[in-house]
Structures are given as C-alpha cells and as structure tokens.
Structure 1
Amino acid sequence: MDILVQPLNRVIRAEPGVNLLDALRAAQVPMSYSCLSGRCGICRCRVLSGEVLDGGREQQRPLDGVDGAVLACQTYVAEPCTIEVPAPGEAVVHRARVAKATVVAIEPLAADIRRLLLKVAKPIEFSPGQYVQLGFTPTHVRPYSMANLPGEQLLEFHVQLMPQGRVSSYIAGQLKVGDKVKVSGPLGAAYLRQQHTGPMLCVAGGTGLASVLSVVRGAVAVGMRNPIHLYFGLRSPRELYGLAWLDHLRSVNPALQVHVVVASGADSATQRRGLVTQAIEQDHASLRGWQAYLCGSPPMVETTTLLALGKGLEVAHLHAEAFYMQGD
C-alpha cells in the first residue's frame, strides 16, 4: 500500500492497518514526536486523501480534525492515502521524560498571578512555546507553559489563582520554597518555527503570556527579525503583568509590536478596549503567509483560530494551546 508524503512528493510503502507515525519513522521521514500517546500534539499532520482510522478523538485538541488534521501516533492507515507533514526542517524530537525539580521562588506578578520558578537537576529539552505537567502532589497535577528559554536550569511558570481552584490554591497557600515537584514533558505543538521568515501573530490570554513570551524570547535568541504582532488579552487591568519583559523584547527587536487589549476598564492611553479578536480584525485585512501562536482559554483560542483561518492563515501555520481554567 502506498502513502504519498507531501510536500516531499515521496511515496512510502506500508501495510494496511499500520500506525502512521511508525510508517513515517520507518521510512525516515522527518517528523516531530514526543509522548507517543496523543497527549502532546506534536505529531500533527493532515490527511489530504484516502481513509485512515483516527484513534485520537478522545484527546481532542484545538486543531484536531480541522481541514483533515490528525495526530500521526494515533492514526492507522486503512488504504492508499496522501499525507501532508510539516516542513522537514521544523521537526523536533524531545522525548518526554520525568524530572525532579525544586521550588526556588513563588513571586507575585499581579493581584491573582504568581511566578513560579523551579530548578531542575538537569535542563529539560524543549522548544520555545511548549509546556509540561507539574505534579506537586499525586492529586495536584496540572499543565503549565514555560516562559523561559531551553537550556536554562530555572523553569519559569505563570500561575493564575482561581477562586476555589484546587491546584492554584495549593500553589498559593501550601507550596513552599524547597518543596519538590515532578516535571513531565515536554508537551505541546505550539512551538517556535525558526525557519519561518514572514510575519508572526502571537496571541496570549491571561497567563497564556508565558508560552508567548517563550516563543518571542526564542525568536530573539536565534536572531529572527520577523515582524511580530503580540496581542495580550485581559479581562481587567488587575490581570496585567509582564510589561517590563515586553518592553525589553521591543528594545532588542524593533519589529515587535505589543497590543494590550483589556475587556473592561482599559487605560485609553496605553491599552485597547475590547477583545483580542476585535483588535486583530481591525488591524489586519489578511494573515496569509503568517505564522500564528495562540495560548489561553478555549473560547479565546477557538474564536481567534476561526478569525485567523478566515483571514487566509493556513492551518499548517496555526499553532494553538487551549488550557481549561476551571478547577485549577
């Protein structure tokens, strides 16, 4: 049975019922993967034609099923088909692992936001924009995005304190400097694509700024000079933080434009009032040729995804992580 792999225009042979990722790896097709269980979302590709059995529906992510998108590790080939894989040069393989870390600091960033710094004995390999699972106790486990760059011993996370939130309340009230934390990962497909030379759209909702900061910091660190439009969406000014970091990034990359968008109570001199989707709609007639990185609540990610696709952004160039806040 033949599988045509695009954009490589290469045909590989596989037996019916074979796992798609196994077939791609056996044929030495460059392909990103990590957890091999459908959790990380890194091995996403598109089915252009033919029938496949998609076993990843139980772990639905923002882009799964959009325009034929599937997770290769959870997909089984039923007949000859055509598969579109990401650009070979952007493939990353950071095998997920478990590491022990120590709490170094818990610092206030805003009224209900804390900065959590963890020191790992050995740096965790990841790409800017990815996240890990943090296990504080066996019953207090949640995903958080790194705000720092790969290779650093201190991992930086931004924690939104939720009313009656189980994990965030534990971090705010019981976690102490010196406590041990289990770090599992990396996970996530919304990582920086370094080969892209066109404009970048970075959209953060609340503490989704952590992931976006990592992406922008990563772009600056490797010398990318792409125009970057960063939209930071907040419900109210009390959630605002990180302006000093953003100002620094603007000073080293003049192509970075920062838009702080506040739903209510915005400072008209420095902030825009409304939703990030409204601001993007006003600013950009087309997003064709852009790369987009979205991180925040599911409603924000979903509405921004629809807007971006409607403005010509290709599905393959849209990288999103949606984190559910209820019960945190």
Structure 2
Amino acid sequence: MQPCPPRSAPYWLDLGDVAVVPLVELSRLPIEPEEFFPGSGQIPSATWCFDESWFDREASRLVFTIQAFLVVTENEVILVDGCVGSGKPRKRSHFDNLDPSWFTEFTNTGFTPEDVSTVVLSHLHVDHVGWTTQRTDHGWSPVFGNARHLVSQRELAYWSGDDGRAAMTRTGDYLADSVAPLAEHGLLDFAEDGRQIGRHVDLLDAPGHTPGNLCVRVTGSKAELLLAGDLLHHPLQLFDPDISTRYCVDPNQAAATRHDILTAVTARGMVLQTAHFAGISASRLNKEGSRYTLVPATDTIRTGQYHRP
C-alpha cells in the first residue's frame, strides 16, 4: 500500500486532453465512525485505511472531504456535484450557513459561472447539490444559469416521494432551496446510464447509496478516470467493500454495485477519484483477494493552481 500524499496546496488531474480540477469546500470533516459505519470498530485501527489522512486518532474520528469537480475539455466545462452551498440553513453544524469560500475555489480557475455548460448531480444528498443556487433578491436563484443540470429521474422521484421526504427530516428540505429552483428555471434534465456529455464524459448507473446514484467516467487521451461520487465514502470500503453507510438507501445493492464497479475500474486500469476521500486521493487499484489497495496515480497529478487555457 502506497499512502496518498496529503493535500497541502491546490492540485489538478491531467488526463491529456482533459483536466479534472477538485474544488474543495471542507478539507477535513470529522465524523464519529459508528455514525457512518455501524460496526466499523471491529476493524483494527492499524489497518492502512486508518492512515492519518483519513482518521484523526486523537479525536477517534474518520476524516472526510467535501468537494466537487470541474471537468474541462476542448468544448465543455462540466461541474460534477455542488457541495453544501453558502448561507443555507442545515441541521448538521458543519454544513450550517457556510461562507462562500468554495466559490473562490471555482473562480480561481479563471472560469465564470457562465462558462459552465453542464452540471451533473451524481445524487441528491445535501452535500452534493448546494452550490447549484445562491440567495438573491429574487430568492434562491441558479448559480450556473447557462448550464443544463442532469440528474437521474429515479433519483428525483425518490427524494420527491414519501420516503425521501422522511429521510430529509435529519437534514432539512434542501430540495426546496437547491433543486426546485432549477426546475422552476427550466434548467433540470433527466439523464441515466450511458448519457454522453461531449466526446469525453459519460454517466454510469451506480444504484444503492441512493436509487438513482450516478458515477461519471472521464476519458482523456492519456488516462481514463472515474469520478465515483458516493460509491465509496472512506477507504475502509476498499478494505471491506461489503461495508455500506448508515445513509445508504439500499445497503446490499450499494455493496453489490461497489463490487461490480471496483472490479471494472481495476481491470481497466482506471484512475479512481472519490468525492469524500481526504487528501490527494486520485489512485489506481490493486486487488488482493476480496480487498483493494490504492496506488496514487502520480502520472496524472499536477500540483499548483489550475488555470483555464
């Protein structure tokens, strides 16, 4: 196992004719292990997945990151997910009324909201949709007004139904301020498995964590990368892919999907980039029995601030 380097400065991923730029909102989000992974205390703390990048030993907390990704091709500027958002009332204290520093991360690339052609919402959890809107004199208005916003129809149906509304009692109704305004402005489209976005990007169904969860495959001239979203939340799910989170709608389906996609990623030599692994986590996978380890994809990692061509 080669540990991934910690993130101490901006970086981006070079796929040849495509760039993938992490846009970090919260770099170190501490979570009590039993909240997210009931029973995870049975895994020895000396296991590699509890490296200091991903586990705060002093506080006995798992460490997560909240981030989105900008995918830049010759013809497209695509935002994958939207983090928590700024100035939005949320029940989790780490998410409540955040400042707009994420937007500075975005504008530091040299792009403006008008440049974004597509926003992909991998799923409709509170930490993936927030920066789709911002408060204006007219209420919650779209940030990326020129972009088509893609989401699975199954996903929206679930969160708009009784089960989804019940699940949102722990977070607050983030659909009202972050998703409904997109529909009201005619910016929301449905997209499923196989949807192409230009020459370099397509969507993959990854159900289980939520009913319409999606992954995003990015194919460049030098490397292929999977933006895995919430297929995985923490490296312990590589140590034991059967472990799903407390917040997975269908934990067994989530585990089966994880096995299938990790098998394909390993066989294809793809770079895996998750939404919530802390540090610089872009890696290829080695399979050892039923478990996986990470090999940092140093051929794609470029340190320094990405600037638009």
TM-score range, shorter chain: 0.3 to 0.5
Please tell me whether Structure 1 or Structure 2 has the larger radius of gyration of its CA atoms: 1
* TM-score (structure 2 length as normaliser): 0.33
Q: Which has the higher contact order (CA 8 A, sep 6+)?
A: 2
* TM-score (structure 1 length as normaliser): 0.32
More strand by share: 1
